[in-house]
Amino acid sequence: MAIYGRLRGTAGGADDPTDVVESVLESAPLCMDCVVVKTGLPPNDVVVALKVLLRTHAVDGNVGMCDSCGRPGALETSRPRAAD
Ligand SMILES: [Zn+2]
């Protein structure tokens, strides 16, 4: 599923916030606050990037606890699981 974000991000180049946000969510589920911290992007850019990723289903919302701060409501890239 990650390919969707990559395709959409090509217009903005390698530093496209969508790509950056997706790549941190690939390694661990994180809440939006922690995505902002980990990416170092302006919160506004993270919000916009997450909207794109959620709309294209590259990222799922509310997947559970944030891997960094332990709060619920984390986001994570949607990848096919073994169960799928
Ligand atoms: Zn967090």
How many angstroms is it from 5 CA to the middle of ligand 1? 22
How many angstroms is it from 71 CA to the middle of ligand 1? 6
Handedness of CA 81, 35, 51, 41 (dihedral sign): negative
Global pTM reads 0.76
Cβ-proximal residues to 60 (8 Å cutoff; 6+ apart), any chain: 54, 75, 76, 77, 78
> What domains appear along the chain, each with residue ranges and CATH number?
2-77 (1.10.10.10)
Q: Tell me the per-residue pLDDT of 7-28, one tens digit each, with 9 for 90 and over.
A: 554 454 568 999 999 999 999 9
pLDDT score, position 9: 44
How many angstroms is it from 76 CA to the middle of ligand 1? 12
Quickly state the pLDDT bin for 84 (edges 50, 70, 90): low
How many angstroms is it from 35 CA to the middle of ligand 1? 7
How many angstroms is it from 47 CA to the middle of ligand 1? 14
